[in-house]
Amino acid sequence: MGRWSDLKGTSGTKVIDLGERLLMPGLVNAHCHLDYTLMAGQFPPPRLFTDWLKLIVTAKGLWDLPDYKKSWLAGAKMLVRTGTTTVADIEAIPKLLPDVWQGTPLRVISFLEMIGITGRRKPDEILAEALDHIRSLKTKNFVGLSPHAPYTAFPELLRLTAKTVLKKRWRASIHVAESEAEFEMFDRGEGEMHDWLKRGGRDMSDCGSCTPVEHLKRTGILNQNLLAVHANYLQPQDIEILAARKVNVVHCPRSHSYFGHEPFQARRLMRAGVNICLGTDSLASVYQKRREPVLLDMFAEMRTFAQKHPEIAWRKIVEMATLNGARALGLRGRAGELSKGSSVDVIAVPFSGAASQAYEAILHYQGDVDASMIGGKWALEPK
């Protein structure tokens, strides 16, 4: 690829002139729940985080497999339209795989979600079930494991997951320190989440002596193969731990705003050397105005982040949605960049300004991309 003046004389090669457009690496969405796309607008921002958890658990119980498939594919279509070429999807409904993979050109890394709260199923059984399902897929698609969160996954499940992903050279993803309620549960052994889960039969003996991040440290799961999602409530020692263990942090700006969390500590994490990347989370936790549809859209996530963190350079924000996400997923050199040897993941957006204005244009862009190519094949033909 190059400027028209450099390529117009190329002989024996088909040349496509994209006109006044900016070519950039396809966006890397480091955390998504495609399953929940069609739950958009169903839940108003909650007063308590546990209220939202209860609502989504109830809503999930009302859906069947075709509902989830329709929702998954609708979300994948949104991502392609809005420039994502690689997505890390938390798969709560493993039965959707591998069929849904065939319904999208996206490069999908499916993280199989694992939950164990009451002890009715042993941690080794939960992990074995996930591994059996992965083996049954007989696919070369990227996969990973996702213990849901410290409050829904026993420490033993976290330890077993850590050993498994290290051995297989996979990635793991976990929601951690997402809410104040979670922080109170682990740090002080009290609060709405603590009381709710205790009533539900969870063993609370691991609560009251450490932060959620310190809890994960004890299990051995904190390392460079882990995507720590949200990390909204951190103490100074938590940031030091994440940096020392080279853990990747995934921030979901619109979801963060929806819940009204404390300000995300982006600058402190960056100064400590933590790799921060961006994700969309699900549309079940994105505010939807009346009669105004919302999309899974990484450009919207970048805009929201820029509004909340004006002190961070635009280029750094774009890297969070491209290079940093690829690094977190073990795809550095293959995705999130345009370089020799990388996959041909390219998107095009309208642009006629100077090169110095490119990053500003990206952060202000709204709408569908004009073209998308994933792995050298058109996902969206040029308009």
pLDDT in the model for residue 308: 97
pTM, rounded to two decimals: 0.95
DSSP run (H or E) holding 218: helix 212-219
Q: Are 338 and 44 in contact (CB under 8 A)?
A: no
Residues with Cβ within 8 Å of 357's Cβ and at least 6 positions away in sequence, in order, are none
Residues with Cβ within 8 Å of 284's Cβ and at least 6 positions away in sequence, in order, are 33, 36, 39, 40, 42, 43, 56, 59
Alpha-carbon distance values, 103 to 6, 261, 376 (Å): 37, 35, 18
pLDDT in the model for residue 291: 74
CA separation for the pair 100, 91 (Å, rounded): 11
CA separation for the pair 67, 56 (Å, rounded): 15
Q: Residue-wise pLDDT tens for the chain (383 aa)?
A: 777 777 777 777 778 888 899 999 999 999 999 999 999 988 888 999 999 999 999 999 999 999 999 999 999 999 999 999 999 999 999 999 999 999 999 999 999 999 988 667 899 999 999 999 999 987 766 789 999 999 999 999 999 999 999 999 999 999 999 999 999 999 999 999 999 999 988 989 999 999 999 999 999 999 999 999 999 999 999 999 999 999 999 999 999 999 999 999 999 999 999 999 999 999 999 988 877 889 999 999 999 999 999 999 999 999 999 999 999 999 999 999 999 899 999 999 999 999 899 999 999 999 999 999 999 999 999 98
Enumerate domains of the chain plus CATH numbers. Answer: 21-380 (3.20.20.140)
CA separation for the pair 90, 127 (Å, rounded): 15
Q: Are 96 and 126 in contact (CB under 8 A)?
A: no
CA separation for the pair 196, 202 (Å, rounded): 9
pLDDT in the model for residue 140: 65
pLDDT in the model for residue 174: 98
128 residue type, one letter = A
Identify the three-state secondary structure at position 298.
helix
CA separation for the pair 19, 248 (Å, rounded): 37
Residues with Cβ within 8 Å of 144's Cβ and at least 6 positions away in sequence, in order, are 88, 109, 110, 111, 112, 165, 170, 171, 172, 173
